[in-house]
Amino acid sequence: QVQAYLADDHGWLATFDLIEDVREDAQETIKALQLAGMTVHLLSGDSAQAAARVAQQVGIKDFQGGCTPQDKLAFLQQQKSAGRNVAVVGDGLNDGPMLAGAHVSFAFGQAVPLAQAQSDFVVLGGKLEVVAQAAVLAKRTLKIVKQNLWWAAIYNAICVPLAVFGWLPAWLAGLGMAFSSLFVVLNALRLSLVNTPVSIIDVHQSVK
C-alpha cells in the first residue's frame, strides 16, 4: 500500500491510498504449483505488511517483505546450498541478481529490461499460469526421458547378448530393434498431448 498526498499553496487537499492488485490467475497458479509438489516463497521489496497481504490473497505461507536484491540473492543461495532446484519469477530491478542465479527464471513482457535480460524466459501476455504449465511439462518430459532410457537399457541388456551368442536370429534382432525405436518415438510423442505453453519464448532470442 502506498499513500499519495495532494496539496496546493494553501496546504493539504487529499490523501490517496494506492493498493496494487495481484494478477487474476495468481491464486490458481500458486495452487497448481503446490499441488505439483513445489514450495512457493514470496520475496518482496515492499513492506512486510504489503507482502503479508499479497501472500494471504494468493495462498503463500512463506513470505518476506522489505527484501533488498542482496537479501533475495542470499535466500536463493541458501536454497541452492540445501540441494533444492530453484525457479524464480520476477519483473523488477531488484529481482535481477536472483533471476540470474536461479536454476531457471521467468520474467514478464512488461518487466524492466534488466529483469528480462537476466531471465531464461520471457512470458508474453502477462499470464502467470504459463509458469505452472512449464513446470508440469518439464516434469512430464523428465518422466518420459527416464522411461525411454530404462526401456532401451533393458532391451539391450536382454536382446544384444542373445543375438551375439546366436540364440536370436539376426532378422528377429533387427526387427526387435526397429520396434524398440518405434516405442521410444511414440512414447515421446505423448508430450504433444500436453497443452504446450506457447507464450514462452527464449529471452536470448527476444532481446537480441
Do 107 and 169 fall into the same domain? no
Q: Which of 107, 125, 143 corresponds to the end of one domain?
A: 125
> Using CA atoms, how far apart are residues 69 and 67, in angstroms rounded to an integer?
7
Q: Express each pLDDT in 168-184 by its tens digit.
A: 888 887 888 888 889 88
205 within domain boundaries: no
Q: Which of 110, 125, 140 corresponds to the end of one domain?
A: 125
Do 74 and 173 fall into the same domain? no
Q: Which of 80, 101, 125 corresponds to the end of one domain?
A: 125
Do 191 and 97 fall into the same domain? no
31 within domain boundaries: yes
Do 63 and 154 fall into the same domain? no
206 within domain boundaries: no
pLDDT at 69: 93
pLDDT at 204: 37
pLDDT at 198: 38
Do 101 and 192 fall into the same domain? no
Percent of the residues in the chain that have a pLDDT greater than 70, as a whole number = 92
Is it the case that residue 139 has pLDDT exceeding 90? no
pLDDT at 135: 84
Domain range spanning residue 166?
Answer: 132-196
Do 24 and 73 fall into the same domain? yes
Of the pLDDT bands very low, low, confident and very high (cuts 50, 70, 90), residue 195 is low
* 30-39 long-range contacts, CB within 8 A, separation 24+: 30/58, 30/59, 30/60, 31/59, 32/129, 32/132, 32/136, 33/131, 33/132, 33/135, 34/59, 36/132, 36/135, 36/136, 36/139, 38/135
Q: State the average pLDDT for the chain.
A: 85
At residue 96, the 3 state secondary structure works out as: helix
Number of structural domains the chain divides into = 2
Q: Express each pLDDT in 27-38 by its tens digit.
A: 989 998 898 889
Percent of the residues in the chain that have a pLDDT greater than 90, as a whole number = 37
pLDDT at 81: 95
Give the pLDDT mean for 98-105: 94
Is it the case that residue 208 has pLDDT exceeding 70? no
pLDDT at 133: 85
